[in-house]
Chain A
Amino acid sequence: MPIDKSIVGKTGKPFTMPIEWSKVREFARAIRDPNPVYFNPELAKQECGGVPVPPTFLQVAAFWMGEDSMPTANFDLRRILHGEQEFEFLKPIFVGDVLTGTSRIADVYEKEGGRGGKMTFMVTEIEYKNQKGEVVAYARGTLVETGQAVGG
């Protein structure tokens, strides 16, 4: 399928992401990060000003948001690889915050690959604002559509 540059700039429907302690704790346990700031709110308040979130916690939004929040290209899901991921933090995110995320297709480009043939890259940027309207973070993910099925 030829590359469709017109999708660059396309945004999804903003989604809401409440930062809940039980979910943050579950995530910290799953990655086995024993840092007490995720488990002891009093200590966290004293040390950090609130219970912070593990740096990659925002990754879970990808599975919480509705389909209309994620603008997509016509990628074949069987040939998709998650190539790169970047998180940029501008302000602290604490348990109790209610974030609003807006996803945008930041770039689409092609490259000649090795075994996989031609590869298409799509960069999606999610901007997160807190309940005060401050931008707190950007999450940028690069998806790669390979020339053949993943693992094949």
Chain B
Amino acid sequence: MAHKQRYFEDVEVGQEIPPLEKHPTTQQLVKYAGASGDFYQIHYDKDFAIKNNLPGVILHGALKNAFLGQLVTDFAGEHGWLRKLSVQYRGMDQPGSMIVCKGKVVKKHSEHGQHLVDCEIWLENAKGEKTTLGSASVVLPSRHQAE
């Protein structure tokens, strides 16, 4: 998908980042295991997960972090730049239900000629629980610099 470039001047404090819906499946967990090299069995072997007192297989925390990474790179656009992405893992999620990545602009500031937008970001599961939360700092181009 081609993203329309967002500029620093387009963004207001308090503004919501366009949410990103994800529908993780067990198959996706297997693909992520292969792509990342994280083959801990709690992410794809249900018997193993249950034996380890889990309700079933659970999402890799790093996959949820990747979802939040997509949320903010979509927001930044091709000419924006992600400076910092920080997340805290707070809870488990199981495949088979929708997850929504959300965010909100909390601060706009300029530093060394860079126009920075700081955001709160989080991931909400179908029960409305915020199982991963964090922050991101994104550099956006300015309309005054664009030719």
Residue positions of A touching B, CB distance < 8 A:
23, 26-27, 29-37, 47-48, 54-56, 59-60, 62-64, 81-89, 92, 149-152
Contact = CB atoms under 8 A, between A and B. Distances in A.
B67 A31 contact: yes
Q: State the majority secondary structure of interface residues on B.
A: mixed
Given A47-B78, A55-B73, A83 B37 contact: no
Closest 7 CB pairs of A and B: A63-B37, A55-B69, A30-B35, A86-B86, A151-B53, A47-B78, A30-B31
B67 to A, nearest CB: 7
A36 B1 contact: yes
B70 A33 contact: yes
Contacts of B70: 31, 33, 35, 54
A64 B30 CA distance: 18
Given A36-B2, A54-B70, A82-B61, A30 B34 contact: yes
18 contacts: A30-B31, A30-B34, A31-B35, A31-B69, A31-B70, A32-B28, A34-B1, A36-B1, A54-B66, A54-B69, A56-B62, A56-B69, A56-B85, A62-B38, A84-B86, A86-B85, A87-B86, A149-B53
Given A54-B73, A86-B84, A37 B78 contact: yes
B110 interface: no
Pick the most buried of A23, A48, A59, A150: most chain B CB atoms within 10 A of its CB.
A59
Interface of B: 1-3, 22, 28, 31-32, 34-38, 52-54, 61-63, 65-67, 69-70, 72-74, 78-79, 81-89
A31 B86 contact: no
Nearest to A138: B84
Given A56-B65, A149-B52, 11 more contacts: A30-B32, A30-B34, A35-B74, A54-B69, A54-B73, A56-B69, A59-B36, A59-B62, A60-B36, A63-B37, A150-B52
A93 B2 CA distance: 21
Contacts of A56: 62, 65-66, 69, 85
B81 A84 contact: no
Contacts of A30: 28, 31-32, 34-36
Given A30-B32, A59-B36, A85 B73 contact: no
Nearest to A60: B36
A31 B32 CA distance: 7
Pick the most buried of A62, A81, A85: most chain B CB atoms within 10 A of its CB.
A85
